[in-house]
Amino acid sequence: MRFDDKKIVITGATGGIGQALVELFAGEGGQVLFSDRSEEDCSDLSAVLKRKGLETRYLAGDLRQKTYCEALISEAAERLGGIDILINNAGIIPRGNILETNDDMWFSALDVNLTAVFFLCRAAIPHMKRAGGGAIVNTSSTWGIYPGPDHVAYCTSKAAVAALTKNLGRDHAPDGIRVNAVCPNEVNTPMLRSGFIRRGIDPATAVSDLGKTVPLGHIAEPEEIADVIAFLASHDARYVCGATVEVTGAKPVYG
Protein backbone atom coordinates (compact mmCIF):
# COMPACT_ATOMS: atom_id res chain seq x y z
CA MET A 1 0.00 0.00 0.00
CA ARG A 2 1.27 3.46 -0.94
CA PHE A 3 1.18 4.94 2.57
CA ASP A 4 2.11 1.93 4.68
CA ASP A 5 3.22 3.19 8.09
CA LYS A 6 3.50 6.79 6.86
CA LYS A 7 2.70 9.30 9.59
CA ILE A 8 0.17 11.72 8.18
CA VAL A 9 -1.55 14.92 9.36
CA ILE A 10 -4.68 16.08 7.52
CA THR A 11 -6.57 19.33 8.24
CA GLY A 12 -10.15 20.17 7.31
CA ALA A 13 -10.83 16.46 7.73
CA THR A 14 -14.58 16.48 8.33
CA GLY A 15 -15.30 18.60 5.23
CA GLY A 16 -16.05 17.34 1.74
CA ILE A 17 -12.53 16.77 0.41
CA GLY A 18 -11.18 16.11 3.92
CA GLN A 19 -13.33 13.03 4.54
CA ALA A 20 -12.25 11.58 1.20
CA LEU A 21 -8.62 12.27 2.13
CA VAL A 22 -8.76 10.63 5.56
CA GLU A 23 -10.43 7.50 4.18
CA LEU A 24 -7.97 7.28 1.29
CA PHE A 25 -4.79 7.73 3.34
CA ALA A 26 -5.94 5.51 6.22
CA GLY A 27 -7.21 2.93 3.70
CA GLU A 28 -3.77 2.78 2.07
CA GLY A 29 -1.96 1.99 5.29
CA GLY A 30 -1.25 5.50 6.63
CA GLN A 31 -1.23 6.36 10.33
CA VAL A 32 -3.49 9.40 10.22
CA LEU A 33 -3.99 12.12 12.80
CA PHE A 34 -6.68 14.45 11.50
CA SER A 35 -7.92 17.89 12.49
CA ASP A 36 -11.11 19.91 12.27
CA ARG A 37 -12.98 22.46 14.35
CA SER A 38 -15.71 20.35 15.96
CA GLU A 39 -14.85 17.65 18.49
CA GLU A 40 -18.21 15.98 17.76
CA ASP A 41 -17.68 15.91 13.97
CA CYS A 42 -14.15 14.52 14.45
CA SER A 43 -15.43 11.86 16.82
CA ASP A 44 -18.22 10.92 14.38
CA LEU A 45 -15.76 10.63 11.47
CA SER A 46 -13.42 8.51 13.54
CA ALA A 47 -16.33 6.21 14.48
CA VAL A 48 -17.51 5.88 10.85
CA LEU A 49 -14.00 4.94 9.77
CA LYS A 50 -13.64 2.50 12.65
CA ARG A 51 -16.76 0.69 11.40
CA LYS A 52 -14.94 0.37 8.06
CA GLY A 53 -11.95 -1.16 9.86
CA LEU A 54 -9.81 2.01 9.75
CA GLU A 55 -8.13 3.26 12.91
CA THR A 56 -7.48 7.02 13.01
CA ARG A 57 -6.64 9.65 15.61
CA TYR A 58 -7.76 13.25 15.76
CA LEU A 59 -7.20 16.51 17.61
CA ALA A 60 -10.04 19.02 17.28
CA GLY A 61 -9.36 22.75 17.41
CA ASP A 62 -9.34 26.09 15.67
CA LEU A 63 -6.62 26.66 13.08
CA ARG A 64 -6.87 30.42 13.67
CA GLN A 65 -5.00 29.74 16.92
CA LYS A 66 -1.24 29.45 16.57
CA THR A 67 -1.12 27.36 19.76
CA TYR A 68 -3.51 24.81 18.23
CA CYS A 69 -1.52 24.60 14.97
CA GLU A 70 1.68 23.94 16.91
CA ALA A 71 -0.03 21.48 19.26
CA LEU A 72 -1.40 19.55 16.27
CA ILE A 73 2.10 19.00 14.92
CA SER A 74 3.67 18.16 18.29
CA GLU A 75 0.81 15.75 19.11
CA ALA A 76 1.25 14.06 15.75
CA ALA A 77 5.01 13.79 16.21
CA GLU A 78 4.50 12.31 19.66
CA ARG A 79 1.51 10.03 19.05
CA LEU A 80 2.56 8.81 15.60
CA GLY A 81 6.31 8.91 16.23
CA GLY A 82 7.08 11.54 13.57
CA ILE A 83 5.52 13.24 10.54
CA ASP A 84 6.07 12.12 6.95
CA ILE A 85 3.14 13.83 5.21
CA LEU A 86 1.23 17.03 5.95
CA ILE A 87 -1.98 17.75 4.04
CA ASN A 88 -3.13 21.35 4.49
CA ASN A 89 -6.70 21.00 3.24
CA ALA A 90 -8.80 23.18 5.60
CA GLY A 91 -10.22 26.36 4.14
CA ILE A 92 -13.00 28.91 4.32
CA ILE A 93 -14.56 31.05 1.64
CA PRO A 94 -15.72 34.51 2.69
CA ARG A 95 -17.68 35.85 -0.29
CA GLY A 96 -17.62 39.40 -1.59
CA ASN A 97 -15.76 42.08 -3.52
CA ILE A 98 -13.56 44.48 -1.54
CA LEU A 99 -16.46 46.79 -0.63
CA GLU A 100 -18.39 43.81 0.79
CA THR A 101 -15.40 42.41 2.70
CA ASN A 102 -15.18 43.50 6.32
CA ASP A 103 -12.06 43.18 8.47
CA ASP A 104 -13.24 39.94 10.03
CA MET A 105 -13.81 38.28 6.62
CA TRP A 106 -10.38 39.42 5.41
CA PHE A 107 -8.44 38.31 8.50
CA SER A 108 -10.38 35.04 8.83
CA ALA A 109 -9.54 34.09 5.23
CA LEU A 110 -5.88 34.88 5.75
CA ASP A 111 -5.76 33.21 9.19
CA VAL A 112 -7.33 29.90 8.13
CA ASN A 113 -6.27 29.63 4.49
CA LEU A 114 -2.74 31.03 4.75
CA THR A 115 -1.34 31.69 8.23
CA ALA A 116 -2.34 28.28 9.59
CA VAL A 117 -0.52 26.69 6.63
CA PHE A 118 2.54 28.76 7.54
CA PHE A 119 2.37 27.70 11.22
CA LEU A 120 1.82 24.03 10.37
CA CYS A 121 4.59 23.86 7.76
CA ARG A 122 7.01 25.70 10.04
CA ALA A 123 6.32 23.26 12.85
CA ALA A 124 6.33 20.12 10.65
CA ILE A 125 9.44 20.71 8.53
CA PRO A 126 11.99 20.11 11.34
CA HIS A 127 10.38 16.69 11.99
CA MET A 128 10.57 15.86 8.28
CA LYS A 129 14.17 17.04 8.08
CA ARG A 130 15.09 14.78 10.99
CA ALA A 131 13.41 11.87 9.19
CA GLY A 132 15.38 12.61 6.01
CA GLY A 133 12.42 13.96 4.01
CA GLY A 134 8.69 14.23 3.66
CA ALA A 135 5.85 15.62 1.59
CA ILE A 136 3.51 18.56 2.08
CA VAL A 137 0.43 19.11 -0.07
CA ASN A 138 -1.36 22.44 0.29
CA THR A 139 -4.76 23.25 -1.14
CA SER A 140 -4.79 26.41 -3.21
CA SER A 141 -7.46 26.90 -5.87
CA THR A 142 -7.76 27.80 -9.54
CA TRP A 143 -9.04 31.06 -8.07
CA GLY A 144 -5.61 31.51 -6.48
CA ILE A 145 -4.07 31.47 -9.95
CA TYR A 146 -6.83 33.23 -11.94
CA PRO A 147 -9.01 35.15 -9.45
CA GLY A 148 -12.73 34.60 -9.91
CA PRO A 149 -15.23 37.40 -9.36
CA ASP A 150 -16.30 38.84 -6.01
CA HIS A 151 -14.20 36.69 -3.63
CA VAL A 152 -11.31 39.05 -2.94
CA ALA A 153 -10.23 37.66 0.46
CA TYR A 154 -10.47 34.03 -0.68
CA CYS A 155 -8.64 34.55 -3.99
CA THR A 156 -5.88 36.57 -2.31
CA SER A 157 -5.36 33.94 0.40
CA LYS A 158 -5.25 31.11 -2.14
CA ALA A 159 -2.78 33.03 -4.36
CA ALA A 160 -0.56 33.40 -1.30
CA VAL A 161 -0.82 29.65 -0.64
CA ALA A 162 0.38 29.01 -4.20
CA ALA A 163 3.32 31.39 -3.64
CA LEU A 164 4.14 29.87 -0.24
CA THR A 165 4.09 26.40 -1.83
CA LYS A 166 6.60 27.42 -4.52
CA ASN A 167 8.83 29.08 -1.92
CA LEU A 168 8.86 26.09 0.41
CA GLY A 169 9.18 23.66 -2.49
CA ARG A 170 12.35 25.39 -3.56
CA ASP A 171 13.83 26.00 -0.10
CA HIS A 172 13.29 22.48 1.24
CA ALA A 173 13.91 20.34 -1.83
CA PRO A 174 17.52 19.87 -0.66
CA ASP A 175 16.10 18.45 2.60
CA GLY A 176 14.17 15.82 0.64
CA ILE A 177 10.89 17.57 1.46
CA ARG A 178 8.56 18.00 -1.50
CA VAL A 179 6.00 20.79 -1.19
CA ASN A 180 3.24 21.00 -3.79
CA ALA A 181 -0.26 22.40 -4.07
CA VAL A 182 -3.44 21.26 -5.69
CA CYS A 183 -5.59 23.93 -7.36
CA PRO A 184 -9.10 22.59 -7.88
CA ASN A 185 -11.82 24.33 -9.82
CA GLU A 186 -15.37 23.56 -8.63
CA VAL A 187 -15.75 20.57 -6.28
CA ASN A 188 -19.05 19.10 -5.06
CA THR A 189 -18.64 19.81 -1.32
CA PRO A 190 -20.44 21.78 1.42
CA MET A 191 -18.21 24.78 0.57
CA LEU A 192 -19.60 24.97 -2.97
CA ARG A 193 -23.16 23.97 -2.10
CA SER A 194 -23.38 26.58 0.70
CA GLY A 195 -22.91 29.32 -1.92
CA PHE A 196 -25.98 28.10 -3.83
CA ILE A 197 -28.05 27.69 -0.66
CA ARG A 198 -27.13 31.25 0.36
CA ARG A 199 -28.51 32.51 -2.96
CA GLY A 200 -31.70 30.42 -2.59
CA ILE A 201 -30.72 28.01 -5.39
CA ASP A 202 -31.26 24.23 -5.06
CA PRO A 203 -27.70 22.83 -4.77
CA ALA A 204 -28.46 19.52 -6.54
CA THR A 205 -29.84 21.31 -9.62
CA ALA A 206 -27.01 23.86 -9.52
CA VAL A 207 -24.32 21.16 -9.32
CA SER A 208 -25.91 19.31 -12.23
CA ASP A 209 -26.15 22.52 -14.32
CA LEU A 210 -22.59 23.45 -13.43
CA GLY A 211 -21.43 20.03 -14.62
CA LYS A 212 -22.64 20.90 -18.13
CA THR A 213 -20.11 23.77 -18.23
CA VAL A 214 -17.17 21.39 -17.62
CA PRO A 215 -15.61 19.78 -20.73
CA LEU A 216 -15.22 16.48 -18.80
CA GLY A 217 -18.99 16.59 -18.10
CA HIS A 218 -19.19 17.06 -14.32
CA ILE A 219 -17.67 19.15 -11.56
CA ALA A 220 -15.14 17.31 -9.42
CA GLU A 221 -16.26 14.92 -6.73
CA PRO A 222 -14.15 15.13 -3.52
CA GLU A 223 -12.51 11.77 -4.29
CA GLU A 224 -11.23 13.13 -7.64
CA ILE A 225 -9.31 15.84 -5.79
CA ALA A 226 -8.20 13.51 -2.98
CA ASP A 227 -6.68 11.18 -5.60
CA VAL A 228 -4.51 14.00 -6.96
CA ILE A 229 -3.44 15.04 -3.46
CA ALA A 230 -2.52 11.42 -2.67
CA PHE A 231 -0.47 11.21 -5.88
CA LEU A 232 1.42 14.38 -4.91
CA ALA A 233 2.07 12.96 -1.43
CA SER A 234 3.20 9.59 -2.77
CA HIS A 235 6.50 8.20 -4.03
CA ASP A 236 5.03 8.29 -7.56
CA ALA A 237 5.43 12.08 -7.45
CA ARG A 238 9.04 11.91 -6.23
CA TYR A 239 10.22 14.39 -8.89
CA VAL A 240 7.30 16.82 -8.44
CA CYS A 241 8.26 19.70 -6.15
CA GLY A 242 7.12 23.32 -5.87
CA ALA A 243 4.28 22.65 -8.32
CA THR A 244 0.74 24.04 -8.34
CA VAL A 245 -1.36 21.42 -10.07
CA GLU A 246 -4.59 22.65 -11.65
CA VAL A 247 -7.42 20.10 -11.51
CA THR A 248 -10.24 21.48 -13.61
CA GLY A 249 -11.82 18.87 -15.90
CA ALA A 250 -10.51 21.27 -18.62
CA LYS A 251 -12.86 24.06 -17.50
CA PRO A 252 -11.20 27.47 -17.60
CA VAL A 253 -11.94 30.02 -14.89
CA TYR A 254 -14.52 32.48 -16.17
CA GLY A 255 -14.54 36.02 -14.84
Q: Which residues are catalytic?
A: 154
23 part of the interface to ligand NAD, by CB under 6 A: no
**Residue from 187, 207, 229, 230 in contact with ligand NAD (CB under 6 A):** 187
- Among the residue ranges 122-130, 167-175, 187-195, 207-215, the one whose residues contact ligand NAD (CB under 6 A): 187-195
Shortest Cβ contact with ligand NAD: which residue?
15
**What is the pattern of x (binds ligand NAD, CB under 6 A) and - over residues 45-74?**
-----------------xxx----------
Rounded-to-integer distance, Cα 108 and Cα 224, Å? 27
Angle between helices 116-131 and 152-172 (to 10 degrees): 20
How far is residue 105's CA from residue 94's CA, in Å, rounded to a whole number?
Answer: 6
Asked if 76 and 9 count as a contact pair (C-beta separation under 8 A), the reply is: yes
Residues 30-49 touching ligand NAD, rule: CB under 6 A, are 36-37
Q: Indicate if the alpha-carbon torsion angle 229, 250, 192, 139 is positive or negative.
A: positive
Interaction of residue 189 with ligand NAD, rule CB under 6 A: yes
Instruction: Give the three-state DSSP class for 34.
Output: strand
CB of residue 80 vs ligand NAD: minimum separation in angstroms?
19
Contact flag: residue 15 with ligand NAD (CB under 6 A): yes
How far is the C-alpha of 11 from the C-alpha of 21, rounded, in Å? 10
Single out the residue of 46, 115, 141, 165 in contact with ligand NAD (rule: CB under 6 A): 141
Taking the least distance from each CB to ligand NAD, the nearer of 16 and 30 is: 16
Q: Could you give the CA distance from residue 45 to residue 55 in angstroms, rounded to a whole number?
A: 11
| CB contact at 8 A, 116 and 11 | yes
Q: Which residues bind ligand NAD (CB under 6 A)?
A: 12, 14-18, 36-37, 62-64, 89-92, 112, 139, 141, 184, 186-187, 189-192
